[in-house]
Amino acid sequence: MLDNYPDVLSFRQVMEITHVGRNLLLRLLNSGEIPAFKMGKLWKVYKQDLIQYMSQCQ
């Protein structure tokens, strides 16, 4: 499913994969519900962390 994506995802890529809007994704990242980190001002998410989050939501 996510084979075409890099191991570290950008904010925009996570939006594309999850089909959620900017504001909701920011809430999920800021709350730690989706594990993420910042590189400067840019949010990054490890692909494995996103896969784990998505499997918990099903």
CA–CA separation, 49 vs 51, rounded Å? 5
CA–CA separation, 24 vs 38, rounded Å? 17
Between 57 and 33, where is the model more confident?
33
Please give the pLDDT value at position 42.
98
Q: Which pairs count as long-range contacts for 50-57, CB under 8 Å and 24+ apart, including other chains?
A: 50/2, 50/9, 50/14, 50/17, 50/18, 51/2, 54/18
Confidence of residue 58 (pLDDT cuts 50, 70, 90): confident
Summarised one tens digit per residue, pLDDT across range 3-54 is 999 999 999 999 999 999 999 999 999 999 999 999 999 999 999 999 999 9
**Stretch (H or E) spanning 11:** helix 11-18
- Please give the model's pTM, rounded to 2 decimal places: 0.92
Q: What residue spans define the domains of the chain?
A: 8-57
Identity of the amino acid at 43: W
Please give the pLDDT value at position 12.
98
